[in-house]
Structure 1
Amino acid sequence: MDPGAAGGGTRGGAEAGDGLRCLVTGATGYIGGRLVPELLAAGHTVRCLVRTPAKVRDHPWAGRVETVQGDVTDPESVGAALTGIDVAYYLVHGLAGGPDFEETDRAAARTFAERARAAGVRRIVYLGGLTPYGVPVRELSPHLRSRAEVGGILLGSGVPTTALRAAVIIGSGSASFEMLRHLTERLPVMVTPKWVSTRIQPIAVRDVLRLLVGSARMPREVNRAFDIGGPDVVTYREMMRRYARVAGLPRRLILPVPVLTPGLSSHWIGLVTPVPASIARPLTESLRYEVVCREHDITRYVPDPAGGPIGLDAALALALRRVREARVATRWSSASVPGAPSDPLPTDPDWAGGTLYTDVRERNVDAPARELWRVVEGIGGEHGWYSFPVAWAVRGGLDRLIGGVGLRRGRRDAARLRVGDSLDFWRVEEIEPGRLLRLRAEMRLPGPAWLEMSTEPRRDGGSRYRQRAVFHPRGLLGHAYWWALSPCHAVVFGGMARNIARAAERKAPREPTREPHPTRPGPPPSE
């Protein structure tokens, strides 16, 4: 197997200066995908060992790393990937890999440890799970037990190893956080297992990444595990209630009962949330243990930032802010570079990042793109919304009754829009003249909403119209609101797209009909 066959980029070596040559396994996973740009920003060169190189292409940093194809269970590909590496990050696990996943995890860790030692790797950095104090490893859940065993194998490898042990990681895309998000968003009243009363010490993903990057430069004599956590020790119940407060949701009523087993809990979570039961089960099995840091020795080697680690409320706010602002822009505009480690990535699973409902309409228009754009930019105000005016008027009236702005604001200019303009009960969030108009709803809704209209020319002189309505529900009321109105979407949004296209076609200039010139002689008579 050719380790360089799947990619190019910076290979690293003597010319790298002070930067280290780092290998990241699990680079397409939640932590790995966010760690790579942090390592690059720190001046290191990065090689990624992945089973499917095509998945790396979706990351914004793909062109800045070397990608090699392989599997941590294959000694040959692991050995080739570790050649010339200073620091190797081990970030792979079998979360729910069948009945023998623990043995697979052990075998992969042994292979990695042996090959790292043979390649002369200077340090292994591993991210595992925080384990409860006083509970023998053999009595832990399979999920936590496997992580502890992998950490032990790497620490005994003969290569200096840093094993970081974390509990719940707070950040959009983390499986534990997504369970928290969806349960709290969707259920104002929850009947829960006893584990909601278990104490845990969550940590912000930004702090996890900071510690992973900092661990690369630990002194050679350091070979140990470190507990890592944020400044807050809470129960899972309190964490859900604090999530609700930060998200602007009403206080959640949580009723723990003793009859819900981890198996039943995982199936219940699978029904209530989009997180698969196969992922929810190992996580819920582990939540019955108290996981609180017993030491904070990591600061001897990676000091805390000014102000200390990120607190729970701040970590929640960061994750939610990115969902409500950047995620919509990322999905709509195909912007692939996240602004912070807590941002969603394009490669995150579909169930990550919160629910986002969309209604998409597209039409070919027999009019030039410039005429279509004139209709789009002139929408609202006196021109109306091109569909079911009674429905828009009723919605505006209802909005005013509950303290909203209604439709009374109109628009500043009859023909031109700019960012920040009010437009009835919308506001212009982004405009690219001739191409895109994005509006953010300012009506009273159980969640933020956007309406986007875009135009593009066709080769035949016509144009293409695309329209997207997006709604990010807040709580159960938000989900109920979307589904209650979904039967109307075909009438309102479908009619809007159809009528905007027709309006552009009516306004498009017609080709003049060519008539024979009155003084021009006709063709000679046929013989």
Structure 2
Amino acid sequence: MLCLVTGATGYIGGRLAPRLLDAGHDVRCLSRSAGRLRDVPWSGRVEVVEGDLFDPDALRRAMAGVDVAYFLIHSLGRPDFEARDREAATVFAAAARDAGVGRIVYLGGPEPDPDDKPSAHLRSRAEVGRILLDSGVPTAVLRAPVIIGSGSASFEMLRYLTERLPAMVTPRWVSNRIQPIAVRDVLRYLIGAATLRPEVSRGFDIGGADVLTYAEMMQRYARVAGLPRRIIVPVRLLSPWLSAHWVGLITPVPNSIARPLVGSLIHEAVAHENDLAELLGGPAPLGFDESVRLALGKIRDADVETRWTSAAGRDAAAEPLPSDPDWSGGSIYVDERSRPVSAPPERLWRVIEGVGGENGWYSFPLAWSVRGWLDRLAGGVGLRRGRRDRDRLRVGEALDWWRVEEIEPGELLRLRAEMRVPGRAWLEMRAEATPEGGSVYRQRAIFLPRGLAGHLYWASVLPFHGIVFNGMARNITRTAETSDGERPVPAGASGGGA
């Protein structure tokens, strides 16, 4: 089948397109900027039509010959999102009908109890679903509650609130029941909905294996993330409006997005039927804890290059994508430095591979020693392990309080910290050749905080980074430039040198 995916640069669309391809379908994407899809790994496998839903020519080209059209866009974050989405759905429905599209698939939100006054967000989602169902084209409207996956705005709110607040006074909606669903299950249902019989045109509730209150979700998130149990005190004073500003203050999720999402949490979001799962068959949906583990990368080892998660056993659906907003994916602190080196990359590499142990760390030896002793007092390994070989390193071996995680000979050394810190840390050093015969030294220190203690730890050591890491970069490059091709003597290894 030929599938049209709108919103291919969005959270769901960017994950759906490659899975449709893997399922054997042809995929066409409608995007306002084709350049935003240029760097995704599946860009060469899809057809891209540049334009938006309000461009009649682009929409006509996008719909031509399409079997299934996915409506995955919304204007959340704009003050006029209700009117904008109403117009977009109306135009999309008419174009699909005129082009003879076989099916429309839409991902919406849960429908609140008719006796409740629905939030603007849920009211808009329901209205869009009705417009598409009235199009005359067979339509499947999937009603999803909180989606669990890195990059989902609802999940990011949960993540940041739980990680940053060991104790919190919360609004009363934290006692409302929710049936969260893993993003991988949402994608599976979206792909399966394309195969429904033509006479099936209706809405479907979808949800995960667990029904929890929001407070229970925060506690179970904390447990999976290895955080202490949170102290949660619900009060009646925090209105949805105040709650949204509170979320905006604590989390990096923009207030324009947090406000309608928080407004929706005043309604319970529990599936009233399981018809789509029964029609499609397949595995049971994941439970909350496993969904969070996938989103956090808890079932994988760390790897800095893929947002610090490795390919082994990964669930890419739950991981961040380059097209996700900057505030998604959790907090990541980076100290990044680079310096030009007149020496060739081979000589710079010898310095990089020689760090640690008796060779030293090229900057402020006293600070390294004190940090090592503090780590030992806290029950860590400190600096006492040294290194096995004075000149060579191997993947997996210990190096002082680091573990060698990755080596690309002549180019990259990546170390994973095994010191006692409230989070996970890496140090990465690179040697890059330049056309002039010299090289560039690149250095990154990366820290993924765990809980409020992790953020406070990074803030406490930040004033010393300019001394330690800047001195390290300067002395490594200086040593590479002044060595004569033999094993270099570290600058500052046994003195000041910072």
TM range (shorter): over 0.9
**TM-score normalised according to structure 2 size:** 0.94
Equivalent residues in 2 for 1:134-153, closer than 5 Å: 134-135=114-115, 139-153=117-131
Query: Structure 1 333/321 Cα, relative in aligned 2: closer, same or farther at 3 Å?
Result: closer
C-alpha displacement at 1:399, in angstroms?
0.8
Which residue matches 2:366? 390
Q: Residue 75 of structure 1 contacts residue 112 of structure 1 at CA under 8 Å; is this kept in 2?
A: no
Q: Determine whether 1:243 maps to 2:221.
A: yes
List per-residue Cα deviations over 1:461-498 (Å, max 9, x = no partner): 22110100000000000000001110100111111111
Secondary structure, aligned partner of 2:317: coil
Return the match for 1:50 from 17, 23, 31. 31
**In 2, Cα distance between the equivalents of 1:279 and 1:327?**
31
Return the match for 1:124 from 100, 104, 124. 104
Q: Residue 161 of structure 1 contacts residue 223 of structure 1 at CA under 8 Å; is this kept in 2?
A: yes
Q: Determine whether 1:296 maps to 2:274.
A: yes
**In 2, Cα distance between the equivalents of 1:331 and 1:170?**
18
C-alpha displacement at 1:323, in angstroms?
11
**In 1, Cα distance between the equivalents of 2:459 and 2:318?**
29
Which residue matches 1:162? 140
List per-residue Cα deviations over 1:269-312 (Å, max 9, x = no partner): 1111111111100000000001100000012321131xx21100
**In 1, Cα distance between the equivalents of 2:357 and 2:200?**
68
**Counterpart of 2:401 in structure 1: which amino acid?**
F
Q: Determine whether 1:479 maps to 2:432.
A: no
**In 1, Cα distance between the equivalents of 2:215 and 2:315?**
30
Moved more, 360-369 or 286-295: 360-369
Query: Structure 1 171/433 Cα, relative in aligned 2: closer, same or farther at 3 Å?
Result: same
**In 2, Cα distance between the equivalents of 1:433 and 1:95?**
47
Q: Determine whether 1:82 maps to 2:60.
A: no
Secondary structure, aligned partner of 1:472: strand
**In 1, Cα distance between the equivalents of 2:307 and 2:199?**
46
Q: Determine whether 1:176 maps to 2:157.
A: no
**Counterpart of 1:118 in structure 2: which amino acid?**
D
Q: Residue 144 of structure 1 contacts residue 286 of structure 1 at CA under 8 Å; is this kept in 2?
A: yes
C-alpha displacement at 1:107, in angstroms?
1.5
Q: Residue 132 of structure 1 contacts residue 292 of structure 1 at CA under 8 Å; is this kept in 2?
A: no
Which residue matches 1:12? none
Which residue matches 1:104? 84
**Structure of higher CA gyration radius:** 1
Which residue matches 2:489? none
**In 2, Cα distance between the equivalents of 1:108 and 1:291?**
25
**Counterpart of 1:356 in structure 2: which amino acid?**
I
Which residue matches 1:198? 176
Kindly tell me the number of residue pairs found equivalent between the two proteins: 484
Secondary structure, aligned partner of 2:423: coil
List per-residue Cα deviations over 1:205-235 (Å, max 9, x = no partner): 0000000001111011100100000010000
**In 2, Cα distance between the equivalents of 1:346 and 1:300?**
34
List per-residue Cα deviations over 1:221-269 (Å, max 9, x = no partner): 1001000000100000000000000000011001111121222211221
Query: Structure 1 361/383 Cα, relative in aligned 2: closer, same or farther at 3 Å?
Result: same
Which residue matches 1:6? none
Structure 1 unaligned regions, length at least 5? 1-19, 511-527
List per-residue Cα deviations over 1:358-382 (Å, max 9, x = no partner): 1111111121111110010010011
Q: Determine whether 1:22 maps to 2:30.
A: no
**In 2, Cα distance between the equivalents of 1:370 and 1:135?**
72
Query: Structure 1 474/209 Cα, relative in aligned 2: closer, same or farther at 3 Å?
Result: same
Q: Residue 324 of structure 1 contacts residue 472 of structure 1 at CA under 8 Å; is this kept in 2?
A: no
**Counterpart of 1:388 in structure 2: which amino acid?**
F
Q: Determine whether 1:312 maps to 2:293.
A: no
C-alpha displacement at 1:75, in angstroms?
3.3
Which residue matches 2:491? none
Q: Determine whether 1:411 maps to 2:387.
A: yes
Which residue matches 1:273? 251
Which residue matches 1:189? 167
Structure 2 unaligned regions, length at least 5? 487-498
**TM-score normalised according to structure 1 size:** 0.89
**In 1, Cα distance between the equivalents of 2:303 and 2:380?**
25
Q: Residue 160 of structure 1 contacts residue 223 of structure 1 at CA under 8 Å; is this kept in 2?
A: yes
Which residue matches 2:357? 381
Query: Structure 1 334/465 Cα, relative in aligned 2: closer, same or farther at 3 Å?
Result: farther
**In 2, Cα distance between the equivalents of 1:208 and 1:490?**
45
Secondary structure, aligned partner of 2:316: coil
List per-residue Cα deviations over 1:34-60 (Å, max 9, x = no partner): 000110000000000111111111311
**In 2, Cα distance between the equivalents of 1:63 and 1:225?**
34
Secondary structure, aligned partner of 1:24: strand
C-alpha displacement at 1:199, in angstroms?
0.6
C-alpha displacement at 1:339, in angstroms?
5.3
Identity percentage of aligned residues: 65
**In 2, Cα distance between the equivalents of 1:407 and 1:343?**
34
Moved over 6 A (4+): 332-335
**Counterpart of 1:411 in structure 2: which amino acid?**
R
Q: Residue 266 of structure 1 contacts residue 277 of structure 1 at CA under 8 Å; is this kept in 2?
A: yes
Equivalent residues in 2 for 1:420-431, closer than 5 Å: 420-431=396-407
List per-residue Cα deviations over 1:155-181 (Å, max 9, x = no partner): 111110010000000000000000000
Task: Report the aligned-residue RMSD.
Answer: 1.8
C-alpha displacement at 1:507, in angstroms?
0.8
Q: Residue 323 of structure 1 contacts residue 344 of structure 1 at CA under 8 Å; is this kept in 2?
A: no
**In 1, Cα distance between the equivalents of 2:154 and 2:6?**
21
C-alpha displacement at 1:104, in angstroms?
1.9
Q: Residue 241 of structure 1 contacts residue 252 of structure 1 at CA under 8 Å; is this kept in 2?
A: yes
Which residue matches 2:483? 507
**Counterpart of 1:214 in structure 2: which amino acid?**
G
Secondary structure, aligned partner of 1:313: helix
Moved more, 258-267 or 318-327: 318-327
